Structure 1
Amino acid sequence: MTLGANLTLAGGVATSAVVGWLLSLTGVPLAWILGAMAGSAVYSNTVGLGGKTKYARRLGQLMIGGATAAVLTPGILGELWSFLPAMIAAAIVANALGVALAFPLQKIAGVDRKTALLATLPAGMSEMASLARETGAQADVVMVVHTLRVVMIVVLVPFLFGIDRSAVADAADPQASLVALAACIAGGLVLSVVTARLGVLNPWVIMPMVVGIALVAMNVSIAPMPWWMIIGAQVLIGFSLGARLKKEDFARVPRAALAAVICSGGLILIMVFGFVPVLALLVDVAPVSLALGVAPGGLGEMIASAKALGAAAAIVAGFQFIRSFLTNIMAPPLLVRFAVGPKGNDP
């Protein structure tokens, strides 16, 4: 990147941080993420962002992954394993709803069925947009729908569930190692660079947690991430999300934006208000953690929200990863079955 591009990118991050700090003074839940998102959206649509915002997002994800690794214990890992059936069930329900909602989105947005399906499947935006480009679908529509869905979740969930004030911080472990925390981040960075080239999903969040799991398995206690680093990660996540809210994208596909609000809103409401109460009968987890776990949002955004709201970040990460993993496995055969006609053309 050129010096000018770096400066505009730095200016966008700084603006996001300032707006996030101002909003945090009001006591609004998730203030740093929401404020950063708002500041970034305004900045990118007025000044512009010349740099590649993906690097800011990756850094934020890496830090969130490290912060999540720091809360892992043998007990939490065992709990996550016991929740695996519930995680798979949540993933199946979310994907079934995504397939069902593809049909109304197709009508409202006026797009082909292939584009509609990739827009409604609850996986990561980058993965679905890449698949859209590879299959000849409308990647811009897919990106708009996924972006609006994540924004809606980030805005709605904290106001619907608030901060998990029942969460009690664990007593500080005198053996907790800052070196181990640094190893999670540094090792996660190296593994992310390698595995990203191999097509691994969301490596920037997952790999620091993989290192953390390995350390916990060796009875190494990981020190908690300093609060200012967690806030920094939230600002970067909010900044990257706001940078996607480009007015020219929404002006180009206004019907897709309307379809996103209607169909994504339906998916969010069904998962959060319909499925969470059922899930709560099966697993003993606070409602805000379950809501963030089953909400069809981005892995990094949902874990960052969990850290900000006092929710169980490791459990949220487990639910989000399983759904994203299964969705990306199921997407290609779903495209063949539901979106492509017998002669290879959209019906």
Structure 2
Amino acid sequence: MLFDWNRWGRLALTVGFAVLGGWCALYVHVPLPWVLGPMVAVACVGMANQVHKQPVLARKSAQIYIGASIGLYFTPAVLQLIGGLAPWMVLGAFVGIFMSVMSARVLQKLANVDGPTAIYSVALGASSEMSVQAQRAGADGAVVASAHAVRIMMVTSTASYIAWASGATPIMPTPGIGVLSWPVTLGLLLTASFTGWCLQKLKTPNPWVLGALLIAAICANHDITGRLPDLGLIVAQIVIGWGLGQHINRAFFTRAPRTLASVAVVTLGILAVCMVAAWFISKGADVAVMTAFLSMAPGGMTEMGILSKAFGLGAPIVTAFHLTRILTTIFLTKPVSEKMMSTGWVKP
């Protein structure tokens, strides 16, 4: 068949529900509406087994746009501020490792899973990289991927409401910053895309976000100031919400339900610890407590970057904290997991 009506129909249905979900969430004043609204709407489509899986190009494009949007904040003054926070970023990364170590033991006891699956299900690194490492370590890759989906969805939703309850007001457009011209915007995004492709070839974690962030930061340090068009950021958020919501379907709840329920419990525990750690970091580093909370939150770098940008809560600081934690986790998870199992902290 030259035209697959079922496929294109599901795509139209999924995209339509995602956009409608965003509008409805905006109308009822849900925090971070263009992420949470599409996430819930697409999840509803998924429960009817009619969801269209998100094209890889859509996810990459959204990550490029979000990375570039955040990167434009990395002016010389901001980079100097972040440099002064470097010790706190390293501390935050090791707090994340500590939370993963403690959580793995709890998850194994609650869910009765093997050691590698427990460890990689709660490792606070890039979810895609953790899934790859999990399979190499002999863990259940499907369970690990689902566990990370649960964690990121829970943290994104919870952190959005915490930010809203704290009194932070979503800011769009950013006050005092004009929109970049279309030629500059196009040149920035094309260069960012090429850089992301190069970083992907080098097997860099989160290459599309980091590549765009790097190029935009270079621009911000060479007197190219402004923001990307707001409509593009809304579309990027819808795509991220679609990506989160597509994991929810009937099979999702029948795939190791005890493990996923246990992951939800453990995630709430990690969030509670993050709130305490954020308070101490905010006092020691002299940053806003909500900025510190989003910096420590066990969500994805892309999602927390969107959230911090939308609420005006120091997106560059939050992104830098998450990047430090991701790199630390990627390099240390394997040796730490081996040590955990050899000492009996987690059973193999």
The answer to whether TM tops 0.5 is yes
Unaligned runs of 5+ in 1: none
Asked if structure 1 preserves the Cα contact closer than 8 Å seen for 2:126 and 2:300, the reply is: yes
Asked if structure 1 preserves the Cα contact closer than 8 Å seen for 2:54 and 2:242, the reply is: no
Equivalent residue letter for 1:42: C
Q: Distance in 2 between matches of 1:110 and 1:303?
A: 34
C-alpha RMSD of the superposition: 2.5
Equivalent residue letter for 2:177: A
SS in 2 for 1:281: helix
Equivalent residue letter for 1:91: A
**1:341 to partner: Cα distance:** 7.9
The question of 1:88 aligning with 2:90 is answered yes
Q: Distance in 2 between matches of 1:98 and 1:7?
A: 42
Quick check: 157-166 or 35-44, which moved more?
A: 157-166
Which of the residues 148, 152, 155 maps onto 1:153? 155
Which of the residues 168, 177, 181 maps onto 1:172? 177
Q: 1:242 to 1:53 in 2, by over 3 A?
A: farther
Aligned twin of 1:197: 201
**1:166 to partner: Cα distance:** 10
The question of 1:258 aligning with 2:261 is answered yes
Aligned twin of 1:213: 217
Aligned twin of 2:289: 287
Which of the residues 247, 259, 270 maps onto 2:250? 247
Equivalent residue letter for 1:171: G
**In the comparison of the two structures, how many residue pairs are matched?**
342
Q: Distance in 2 between matches of 1:86 and 1:315?
A: 11
SS in 1 for 2:272: helix
Aligned twin of 2:121: 119
Asked if structure 2 preserves the Cα contact closer than 8 Å seen for 1:44 and 1:246, the reply is: yes
Displacement over 6 Å in runs of 4+: none
Asked if structure 1 preserves the Cα contact closer than 8 Å seen for 2:279 and 2:292, the reply is: no
Q: Distance in 2 between matches of 1:153 and 1:333?
A: 27
Q: Distance in 1 between matches of 2:51 and 2:201?
A: 26
Q: Distance in 2 between matches of 1:285 and 1:177?
A: 33
Equivalent residue letter for 2:116: K
Asked if structure 2 preserves the Cα contact closer than 8 Å seen for 1:122 and 1:327, the reply is: yes
- Write the mapping of 1:1-347 to structure 2, written as runs, cut at 5 A: 5=7, 7-162=9-164, 164-165=168-169, 169=174, 171-172=176-177, 178-217=182-221, 219-271=222-274, 273-339=275-341, 347=348
Q: 1:68 to 1:7 in 2, by over 3 A?
A: farther
Q: 1:18 to 1:52 in 2, by over 3 A?
A: closer
TM-score (norm 1): 0.91
Asked if structure 1 preserves the Cα contact closer than 8 Å seen for 2:143 and 2:255, the reply is: no
Equivalent residue letter for 2:188: C
**1:118 to partner: Cα distance:** 0.5
**1:183 to partner: Cα distance:** 3.1
Q: Distance in 2 between matches of 1:215 and 1:62?
A: 15
Unaligned runs of 5+ in 2: none
Equivalent residue letter for 1:207: G
SS in 1 for 2:285: coil
**1:338 to partner: Cα distance:** 1.6
**1:63 to partner: Cα distance:** 1.0
Asked if structure 2 preserves the Cα contact closer than 8 Å seen for 1:180 and 1:223, the reply is: no
Asked if structure 2 preserves the Cα contact closer than 8 Å seen for 1:56 and 1:236, the reply is: yes
SS in 2 for 1:276: helix
Asked if structure 1 preserves the Cα contact closer than 8 Å seen for 2:53 and 2:246, the reply is: no
Asked if structure 2 preserves the Cα contact closer than 8 Å seen for 1:177 and 1:222, the reply is: no
Q: Distance in 2 between matches of 1:129 and 1:6?
A: 30
Between the two proteins, what is the percent identity of the paired residues?
25
